[in-house]
Every structure is written in C-alpha cells, then in structure tokens.
Structure 1
Amino acid sequence: MIKNHKIAKVGAIAALAAAATFSLAACSSAADEDSSGADESSETSQVVAPTIVDVATLNGQTVDINNGSFVDITTGDTDPADWTAVVKDPAVVAFTAGGKSGDAVFNPGLQGTQAGSTQVELTNKTTGEVVTFTVNVK
C-alpha cells in the first residue's frame, strides 16, 4: 500500500504541475490577444488636437478644419470671457464662449458640425475690437 500511496502522490503532483503550466499558457495567450486588441483600438480612437489660432492674427484669415474638429482661439492679454461670436451659418460651426471654471481658464472656440464654409465675427465686449474670418469645414 505504501508503494501505491507514493504513486498516487507523484501522479497528483504531476497533474498539478501540468494544470499550472496549462493555466499559465492560457493566461499568456489571453494577455497577448488583449494587448493586440488594445493596440488596434488605440489606432482608431486617437484624439485629434485642436487647431489653435491667435485672435491677434486671425482677422481676414481662413481656417480649415475637419468635421467634428475644434478651433481654439487664444486671446492674448484679453479676458477669454469677453469674446462673443456671430456665426453666419451656425449649421457649419458652433461657438463655445471662453471663461473661467474654478481655477481653469478656457479659450473661446468653434467646433465643425457639418461640411461647408462660414464667416465668423468675433467681438470683444470690453474693447469693442471686431475680428472677422472664415472657417472651412471639410
């Protein structure tokens, strides 16, 4: 009986070793599949940086963006909240006012909402400065 008991122990140890090896191999395969899947999805979900323009050089310019993209308008020494916009064709771009939220300061901006071209007139309500430019959305 002692001989059979030793065989049973050796068999149990061998079975555990095989199971452990199989589990590690399965984890490795799953990790490889997950990492390759994550690589593929990261290629299609890249964030596109906004087009950054300075209000001081924007007058008379044309800004080209893709549909869904953003135009970030830097306002120099002026308060971003002082700028308002009139968009000739609001179906082409949407204006977002600048301002503060807590400690953060946000620039005014535009988002392309449909292909087309429109004129935008920015006005600084404090200084009275008016900046007119065109946005082309592809």
Structure 2
Amino acid sequence: MMNHKIAKVSAIAALAAAATFGLSACTTAAEDSSSSSSETSQQVAPTIVDVATLDGQTIDINNGNFIDITTGDTDPADWTAVLSDPSVATFTEGSTGTAVMNPGLQGAKAGSTTVELTNKTTGAVVTFTVNVK
C-alpha cells in the first residue's frame, strides 16, 4: 500500500514538473514575440520623394533611414545613380518583375552627398543633395 502511494506521488510530481516546464516554454515564446514586435514598431517609415520634383532639392534623413524614389510613368529599373560621396549613402536600384521596387538611398554615415540620378532609357538627369544626420 505504501509503494502504491509513493507511485501516485511520483506520478503527480512528474506531471507537475511537466506542466511547469511547458508553461515556462510558453512564457519564453510569448516574451520573444513581444520583444520582436516592439522592435518592428520602432522602424521609421522611408522618406518618399517623386523623381519629377526631386531636381535641385535637399533631402535630410537620419543615419540608417531610407529615401524611396517614386518614378512616375518611368520604369524604376531604368534609374541609376552616381554619388559624390558613396560613403554617406548607398543607392539601391529599382526593379520590376514579380514585385515593383523603387530605387532608393539609405543613409550610411553622417555627411552630405550630391546624387546624380540618370534614366538610362530617356536620358533624363536629376541632381539633388542628401544630408545624413
């Protein structure tokens, strides 16, 4: 009779341990997902500019932020860029395909750079300045 009680107590202890382990695993997963959603909510939206009104402009962004260049009726993949100081910002070409991606720039370090954007199909040239803070 005593062995039977010990077996029941052992079984209950094992179930309690399993339940505790299971709950701690759920808590960890919940904490992980909440921390990643708070990181996502702190992302800054890009500065959106239209290539038709960009010539001669100065665009200010913070280091790490993006400039999204909308290209109107022109193909986003037709635009290329030359930067006077490519260490200040990096250029990403536009593309078309399963998804249309606009060309853009990302601030890489504090400073200023002149950007000459050229449409290889139409020959249009747009020159502007990017200041990264």
1:113 paired with 2:108, answer: yes
Q: Does 1:68 align with 2:101?
A: no
**1:25-64 residue pairs with structure 2 within 5 A?**
25-40=20-35, 42-44=37-39, 47-64=43-60
Q: Give how far 1:33 is off.
A: 3.9
Residues 69-105 of structure 1, C-alpha deviation per residue, up to 9 Å, x if partnerless? Answer: 22221101101122122211111112222223x4233
CA radius of gyration, larger in: 1
Q: 1:93: which partner in 2?
A: 89
CA RMSD, aligned part only? 2.3
Amino acid at match of 2:87: A
One-letter code aligned to 2:30: S
One-letter amino acid matched to 2:31: S
Letter in 1 for 2:66: F
Q: What corresponds to 1:131 in structure 2?
A: 126
Q: Report the TM-score, using the length of structure 1 for normalisation.
A: 0.78
Supply the distance in 1 between the matched residues of 2:115 and 2:75 (Cα, whole angstroms): 19
Q: Percent identity?
A: 61
Query: Helix, strand or coil for the counterpart of 1:131?
Result: strand
Gaps of 5+ in 2: none
TM-score for both structures, normalised by structure 2: 0.80
Q: Number of residue pairs matched?
A: 132
Structure 1, unaligned runs of 5 or more: none
AA in 2 matched with 1:110: L
Cα pair distance change 1:37/1:58, threshold 3 Å? same
